[in-house]
Amino acid sequence: MDSPEKAGALVINTCGFIQAAKEESLEAILSAAREWPDRPLVAVGCLVERYRRELAQGIPEVSGWFGVDEGDAVVRHLAKVCGLQISVGAETSFRPSLSGSWAYLKISDGCSHRCSFCAIPLIKGPYRGASAEAILSQADEVLAAGARELVLVGQDSALWRDGGMTLSALLLRLTEDPRVLRLRLMYLHPEHVDERLLESVAENPRVCRYLDIPFQHAAPGLLRRMGRTGSSRTYLDLIARAHRMMPEVSLRSTFIVGFPGETEEDFQELLRFVENAEFDHAGAFAFSAEEGTAAAEMRPRVPVRSAQRRLAALTGLLADVAEAGKRAWLGRRVDVLIDNSAPTDAPEGVVAVGRTEGQAPEVDGVTYLVAADSDVPRVGELVEAVVTDVLGYDLLAELL
């Protein structure tokens, strides 16, 4: 919450996928209720979808509880509690969201995979793709509002198609618009990253050479228990293919440690995979037994202390690998899409903040741009710079 004192009502967007996210969401609701008792408080999202009745009984301070596909009802409720007249559009589940130079376009919702650890299909239901028409119209809306990078999201983006129109064709259609400086694909299930998808990323200069593939693990036996196919060998082959087609591709992934039945040998295989795969960005989580999922019933459970030890080892390795990857960018020319002017605590000489094509908004680092005060680029401008330093997760680059 940036400035809740100015808000007519507070809306907390919750997450209910894993235990840590549930606790964080609950804490956000409770602290908003404590700190701003005079503001109407509304909670939306996945946690509400899963536990609406229990939450409503336990936290009466919240005036409205709304699940994942209830955008119109949220707007109507806010209008009522704030005393406003608002007209609501026909369909809000695929609404885009815009921030500075980039916008998310939700191309699908729900998931028909049955990964044994995952509560998303229980919360969001089966896979539903948005129509090409709806996506193009969302794109037009955010481009008109100033977006220059479109970030395509869904639980499994690689699966998208609409009748005869494939994802590759959709990428081409979207990038025909000259306002689109960049297009980025997020959340690609490894089973669906095939030659054609890699080609459509590699051959279209406006599509970011960036692959976000949540592998989750690398030991084949454990992947089967997770309800997934693949192995460290097939995944490394896929990554090698991507590197051959796009030598500068950036890779993001996520991993789970401490899944029921994970042996020390499985974990060592995961570490070897991570060392070889050289991810630029990755997240790691300890297994969380989610009610209603198959994995919640699986045994043997990995003791919490072992899971935490494995998580610390994996996180440390991922950080080292990512740092080495960033160092490799030193001295290279990059295109930086400007997102914001420089924050007050930015390093000296920095005039703006942006991202390279290897940095997705919100989840990866940023690039701080150094330039003369007379050369400050505008938000939404794509500028050429040379990388001069690595600052933790971020890069420092000088405008050319």
Site for ligand SF4, rule CB under 6 A: 111, 113, 115, 118, 120-121, 155-156, 189
- Own/partner contacts of 44-47, CB < 8 Å, gap of 24 or more, are 44/11, 44/12, 44/13, 44/14, 44/70, 44/74, 45/13, 45/14, 45/15, 45/16, 46/14, 46/15, 46/16, 46/17, 46/123, 46/124, 47/14, 47/15, 47/16, 47/21, 47/22
Closest CA to 133 of 141, 125, 124: 141
Q: What is the dihedral of CA 155, 127, 74, 54, to 10 degrees?
A: -90
Full strand arrangement of the beta sheet holding 281-286: 210-212, 250-257, 281-286
Considering the complex, state which of residue 94 and residue 368 has its C-beta at the smaller distance from ligand SF4: 94
Considering the complex, state which of residue 120 and residue 286 has its C-beta at the smaller distance from ligand SF4: 120
Two structure tokens written together for 22: 């549930």
Least distance in angstroms from the C-beta of 226 to ligand SF4: 8
Considering the complex, state which of residue 115 and residue 282 has its C-beta at the smaller distance from ligand SF4: 115
Considering the complex, state which of residue 49 and residue 149 has its C-beta at the smaller distance from ligand SF4: 49
Does residue 278 contact residue 242 with C-beta atoms inside 8 Å?
no
Considering the complex, state which of residue 65 and residue 104 has its C-beta at the smaller distance from ligand SF4: 104
Least distance in angstroms from the C-beta of 391 to ligand SF4: 32
Count other Cβ atoms within 10 Å, centred on residue 107. Answer: 27
The sign of the torsion formed by the CA atoms of 36, 41, 44, 46 equals: positive
Q: What is the dihedral of CA 323, 325, 331, 336, to 10 degrees?
A: -90
Considering the complex, state which of residue 112 and residue 263 has its C-beta at the smaller distance from ligand SF4: 112
Least distance in angstroms from the C-beta of 116 to ligand SF4: 9
Considering the complex, state which of residue 295 and residue 336 has its C-beta at the smaller distance from ligand SF4: 295
**CA separation for the pair 217, 236 (Å, rounded):** 12
Least distance in angstroms from the C-beta of 156 to ligand SF4: 5
The helix (H) or strand (E) run that includes residue 42 is strand 41-45
Least distance in angstroms from the C-beta of 272 to ligand SF4: 23
Considering the complex, state which of residue 114 and residue 327 has its C-beta at the smaller distance from ligand SF4: 114
DSSP letter for 145, please: T
Written as one letter, the residue type at 158 is A
Least distance in angstroms from the C-beta of 127 to ligand SF4: 8
Least distance in angstroms from the C-beta of 115 to ligand SF4: 3
Phi-psi region of 293 (alpha: psi -120 to 50; beta: other; left: phi over 0): beta
Considering the complex, state which of residue 286 and residue 369 has its C-beta at the smaller distance from ligand SF4: 286
Q: Which residues fall within 8 angstroms of residue 147, CB to CB, at 6 or more apart?
A: 98, 101, 102, 103, 380
Least distance in angstroms from the C-beta of 227 to ligand SF4: 7
Least distance in angstroms from the C-beta of 253 to ligand SF4: 12
